Structure 1
Amino acid sequence: MDFPSVHSQFAAQAARTPDAVAVTCGQDELTYRELNARANQLAHRLRRYGAGPETPVAVLMERSAHLVVALLAVLKTGGFYMPLHSAYPRERMQKIMDHAGRPVLLVDREAKQLPGARLLIEADAERAYAEMPGTDPVVPVSPDNTAYVMHTSGSTGEPVGVAVRHEGVLGMIEDSCWGDGGFDRVLAIAPPAFSVSVYELWVPLLRGGQVILAPPGEFDAHFLRQVVTEHRVTGLHLTAGLFRLLAEESPDCLNGVRQVLTGGDVISAAAVRRVMDACPGLVVRAMYGATELSVFVTTAPVARPESGDGIPLGRPMTGVELYVLDGNRDRVPDGAVGELYVGGRRLARGYFGRPDLTADRFVGNPFAGEGERMYRTGDLVRLTGDGQIDFVSRINDQIKIRGFRVEPLEVEHVLAARPGVAHVAVVAREAGSGDKHLVAYVVPEPSGVDIAELRAHAKAHLPDYMVPSAFVAVGALPLTPNGKIDRRALPEPTFDQAAAYEPAVNERQEMLCALFAEVLEVGRVGIDDSFFDLGGQSMLAARVAARIEKGTGVRTTVGDVLNAPTVRELDTWLAKSVPVATK
């Protein structure tokens, strides 16, 4: 008997619409027939090297048509894909590979070999397909088989892999919210190692739509406006932080899009109003979920908010059961605050190779049949009278930075391993703009600690969104009466500035100094103070780039700010640049 799976559903769609374009990346296009055949060929090759049911295949590739072929090919072997992010430090990737048992690794031609790979295959090379049949491999797969394993920040001090089933992915894709045509042409901008990429790829591909793959690199309003117009994008997902940034700097860049999904953090009502006013006819849809829940489990279109009230998380999607429970796991009345538990067909299998963590977060469901489970989200919520969920706060220390899940304990574990660190606490601070950043409070050993070396160590071992923006040396960590760290009592951070203050010497430098001070919410900025030492990160760099472009007319990207992080360097770069209007 054939069971439904992600790849069998795709093959059925390819049979229905073989000549429709499935994937577009720049000038490259693949029809459904071509994508299916290429994936079949690569799958047959992977099968020769041992890929099969419940077998991991690691994928280290940038966004491209070859990436989509590779992910589909892995599924066609009966195995599961384990995407790595090229921005991960090498040591982090190595740990993931070792934990997976040295799997086959699919890479771009530019990618370098990882010692943890059993075999490396260049998935964008013609020889990956040569002499392989284009027919579907015959491999038995059940809905309970693993489709992919994605790694998130872990409270154990190590990244943890979440094993998601075919059933969970198919459950999300079958929801009625995708049926209004807003997802015919979906823009894919998330790295494949993050769960939103599942929506960006499989919702359109299993429903006869088209995936528009953004080229690798930084993403800004200029690019979004261009790609939306050129490729007639109808749907996309933006993290709450990126949505807020675009709403502030260029809300009309979404003109032409039918639906934009947003979530992953508190959604700004002011940002929703600005975007809706600038883009008549656009539907903003709130989404909530987790990697453990096959991406999204609640959704609702957002009515134009008339006040600063928070945006609800939405209502349950198809096949999802929501429970708001107290400490005894009894239901709380509507309007009361409790922890959100999620049951139904969307739950992941658990944490890859970690039955202890799985048992802690995936617990028995007393409201369903024997053997059914529910997932403890760790989110405090309340159920409104109209059936929507309002977010209140987190129970534990887990936070979201730029839409990514971060466990402070993992960051603390990395920092505490360095000589000179006696104790460390990592907390999230929120700026007036709503952007969150991490701050590390370090208690040095008597011998002292080199903060610059500690920052470099963090960059070498953690993804960039997990590297603290500020490192603060303190004599001791304040404690609550029960002996826990009193994170609220930790002082506000101060950021490093150049030892000698150098003032601006021309009008453009004055503008840039004022811009740095405003965006980074610091006091006086000198022309040699580094954007990063002042607490900058890529989301704030996008804000700076957008305002420089508005003020000077010079096309400015996040990369330009990252490559010239001081006012002096930016001023030199701008002096050599030509405003777009005069080109």
Structure 2
Amino acid sequence: MHGGSVKAFQTNLSVHQLISEQAALRPDSLAVTCDGVSITFGELNARANQLAHRLLKMGVKPNTLVAIGLERSIDMVVGMLGIMKSGAAYLPLDPSYPRERLTFTLEDAKPLAFVTTTTGRPTLPPSDLPMILLDQDAGSLGAEPVTNPDIAIDPQSLIYVIYTSGSTGRPKGCRLSHHNVVRLFHATDHWFGFGPEDVWTFFHSHAFDFSVWEIWGALVYGGRVVVVPHRVSRSPEDFLDLLVREKVTVLNQTPSAFRTLIEVDRRRPEASVLALRYVILGGEALEFQMLRPWFNRYGDTKPRIINMYGITETTVFVTYRPVSAAELDGTRASLIGVPIPDLTVHVLDENRKPVPVGEEGEIYVGGEGVCLGYLNRPELTAERFIDWRPSDDQPVEKLYKTGDLVRRTADGDLEYLGRSDHQVKIRGFRIETGEIENQLMRHPAVTACAVIARTDGPGEAKLVAYIVPSATPADAATLKAHLAQTLPDYMLPFAFVDLGELPMTENGKLDRKALPSPTFTTSPIVPEARDELEQKIAAIWSRVLSVPDVSTKVNFFDQGGSSLQILTVLAEIQESIHPELRLSDVFERPTIAALANFIRSSTAPAAAPAARPENLRARQQAEALQRMRQRQMGAAR
């Protein structure tokens, strides 16, 4: 199955060569903006060239790796582009990831050099690699040539290696080529028609392949990239303001993030003055119903909402599906559309035979987007990237076995059904729950365990760990701290449930359907609370998070909270404690102690206020969400 005639696009140029062409065409046009500071295409190209020349002196060459680890910034874009211009591939390291995980990535990938900044360096593992500090070394880098390096790049050369979760506890590095990325933009051009007038947001971690589409999609078309600082990405209110202020035309979001943006926008009395042409959703399953408030306010033509299913191993996206308001009343949960024209999608059974229309099968992806396999993992590469022949008289095709289940509809659409294994997506990140289980089993307090993603309430799925404790059990805080040493925050379970034994099916396999929903008491236990104000905030957090124990010092999100739930927290605090509190205040102070300090220092009265109209609307929305959550949790039990 494909989205039209399969077309093998001629992609003889690399990503950085396409950007160099844009720099020659429009040197004075803005290329990258961050926090009110912008650089032009000419400046971007020159700075990236200078970095590339320095890297060449350090011995990098095609198909070698250069690590880059720093916060989202103009320097990050310059750094990644400069690495590509040297002929090397970039290895993204997110400083927010645990140091042990970053250390593994460095040891496994063996990059030749490291690009960071003086502020980014302390957040990364110690390393003996040659180091370039983009801020500290700016003077010496400025003496390097500004001309494009004369490096011949094969389109099949590496462009980046991104590590994703692995079921054995060992993350795996996906090897992507320049051809993989360039053909993505060629093959989707007839759908989107991007151009120099477009403004894109760079919202996601550079270690998440959504960023590949966000950054290079803007620049290869001569458009502008607006870097979203981390603090703004955590505040939907500020992010919505950024979209308006920067006149963003192309927004890329996971459904979970966009759901929160919808709620923030809906709370404003009037529609925002947006320049959006496209909102492209990906990274996790989209529930069409969540779009109803957005369509009610903005319609479904400007912007167009596009649902795109994709995988790191097949270069960001595989399918394309516009969503219209008329479809919200349909019965299907998540339609993902048709393949990108230079890809093929086969829906196969356990014997790798095509399944009839309407029957469930696993997606296998072939075509120009399939990556080069996993770094240093030949056995896993052979297991997941298979040779497949449709019939004896047809040629062999290289397919990637996704593990995702779909059903093909009579009209040629694909309906996403979930995973065939135990891989899940949380906040857009693909997670092998086996990796979490593997780390839990390393703790002496754990005899057996299972980790699943639950959706007992509205919104995002959440990870729950089920523990059969040893003779010396540990509490949830201890186990979470143990996991946090090696796993990023999005892989930490929000709840831990002790069981006498794990439930089994008749054939001796884990019965995941029999794992119980977490149950919590209604009274929070907060010995850390310093006064009545902190107790009140803790009670709200406990109620919203459905957990008995909340900490006054731990981040709301690290205690299992989501951006959507923080709206409920805000509404309750506005109603009962502090009427003037803004959403950005909560995002900027995501612990009970910090939030209480802010409220104490505020001139607003701390006594229970009279409900203002906007607070009342917020409360009504929050209560509706809470009632829905309670009904769904009741049904789940």
Q: TM-score, normalised by structure 2?
A: 0.83
Secondary structure of the 1:289 match is: coil
Q: Distance in 2 between matches of 1:347 and 1:156?
A: 23
Deviates more, 1:477-486 or 1:111-120: 111-120
Match of 2:130 in 1: 119
* Aligned AA (2:275): G
**8 Å contact from structure 2 (residues 493, 560) kept in 1:** no
**8 Å contact from structure 2 (residues 533, 596) kept in 1:** no
TM-superposition CA deviations, 1:477-522 (whole Å, max 9, x none) = 1111222211222222245875479999989976x56753553246
* 1:245 is aligned to 2:254: no
Decide whether aligned partners of structure 1 residues 6 and 149 sit closer, same or farther in structure 2, where only a CA change above 3 A counts.
same
* 1:219 is aligned to 2:234: yes
* 1:307 is aligned to 2:329: yes
* 1:452 is aligned to 2:474: no
1:18 CA displacement: 1.7
Secondary structure of the 2:448 match is: strand
Cα RMSD for the two superposed structures: 3.1
Match of 2:353 in 1: 330
Secondary structure of the 1:288 match is: coil
**8 Å contact from structure 2 (residues 117, 135) kept in 1:** yes
TM-superposition CA deviations, 1:171-219 (whole Å, max 9, x none) = 1111122305698100111011100001110111001111011112242
**8 Å contact from structure 1 (residues 23, 65) kept in 2:** yes
Q: Distance in 2 between matches of 1:530 and 1:98?
A: 31
**8 Å contact from structure 1 (residues 173, 202) kept in 2:** no
Match of 2:560 among 536, 547, 550: 536
1:550 CA displacement: 6.5
Q: Distance in 1 between matches of 2:298 and 2:515?
A: 42
Match of 1:150 in 2: 162
Secondary structure of the 1:493 match is: coil
* 1:491 is aligned to 2:516: yes
TM-superposition CA deviations, 1:506-554 (whole Å, max 9, x none) = 89976x56753553246x8999797869953353564346536865232
Residues 282-361 of structure 1: pairs in structure 2 closer than 5 A: 282-304=303-325, 305-307=327-329, 309=331, 310-361=333-384
Decide whether aligned partners of structure 1 residues 374 and 534 sit closer, same or farther in structure 2, where only a CA change above 3 A counts.
closer
Match of 1:401 in 2: 426
* Aligned AA (1:338): G
Match of 2:279 in 1: 260
TM-superposition CA deviations, 1:91-145 (whole Å, max 9, x none) = 1100000111253111122022533451121123313513211111122211111
Decide whether aligned partners of structure 1 residues 494 and 80 sit closer, same or farther in structure 2, where only a CA change above 3 A counts.
same
Q: Distance in 2 between matches of 1:576 and 1:308?
A: 50
Deviates more, 1:78-87 or 1:223-232: 223-232
Residues 445-524 of structure 1: pairs in structure 2 closer than 5 A: 445-494=470-519, 498-499=524-525, 512=537, 515-516=540-541, 519-521=544-546
Decide whether aligned partners of structure 1 residues 390 and 315 sit closer, same or farther in structure 2, where only a CA change above 3 A counts.
same
Secondary structure of the 1:163 match is: strand
Q: Distance in 2 between matches of 1:526 and 1:201?
A: 38
* 1:434 is aligned to 2:456: no
Q: Distance in 2 between matches of 1:150 and 1:463?
A: 15
Match of 1:165 among 177, 191, 196: 177
* Aligned AA (1:441): Y
* Aligned AA (1:539): S
1:385 CA displacement: 2.5
Decide whether aligned partners of structure 1 residues 505 and 371 sit closer, same or farther in structure 2, where only a CA change above 3 A counts.
same
Structure 1 gap ranges (5+): none
Decide whether aligned partners of structure 1 residues 194 and 503 sit closer, same or farther in structure 2, where only a CA change above 3 A counts.
closer
Match of 1:194 in 2: 208
* 1:184 is aligned to 2:198: yes
Match of 2:55 in 1: 46
Match of 1:7 among 16, 25, 35: 16
> What count of residue pairs does the alignment treat as equivalent?
576
TM-superposition CA deviations, 1:417-438 (whole Å, max 9, x none) = 1122211211111131132111
Deviates more, 1:536-545 or 1:94-103: 536-545
* Aligned AA (2:278): Q
Decide whether aligned partners of structure 1 residues 148 and 180 sit closer, same or farther in structure 2, where only a CA change above 3 A counts.
closer
Match of 2:144 in 1: 132
Decide whether aligned partners of structure 1 residues 240 and 133 sit closer, same or farther in structure 2, where only a CA change above 3 A counts.
same
1:81 CA displacement: 0.3
**8 Å contact from structure 1 (residues 187, 211) kept in 2:** yes
* Aligned AA (2:329): S
Match of 1:209 among 223, 232, 246: 223
Secondary structure of the 1:191 match is: coil
Match of 1:375 among 400, 405, 408: 400
Q: Distance in 1 between matches of 2:423 and 2:287?
A: 20
Deviates more, 1:203-212 or 1:273-282: 273-282
Match of 2:607 in 1: none
**8 Å contact from structure 1 (residues 541, 562) kept in 2:** no
* Aligned AA (1:50): G
Q: Distance in 1 between matches of 2:56 and 2:276?
A: 40
**8 Å contact from structure 2 (residues 164, 172) kept in 1:** yes
Decide whether aligned partners of structure 1 residues 116 and 363 sit closer, same or farther in structure 2, where only a CA change above 3 A counts.
farther
TM-superposition CA deviations, 1:47-82 (whole Å, max 9, x none) = 111111110100101111111111011111111001
1:557 CA displacement: 3.2
**8 Å contact from structure 1 (residues 514, 525) kept in 2:** no
Residues 78-117 of structure 1: pairs in structure 2 closer than 5 A: 78-111=87-120, 112=122, 114-117=125-128
Match of 2:415 among 373, 382, 390: 390
Q: Distance in 1 between matches of 2:358 and 2:403?
A: 18
Decide whether aligned partners of structure 1 residues 456 and 347 sit closer, same or farther in structure 2, where only a CA change above 3 A counts.
same
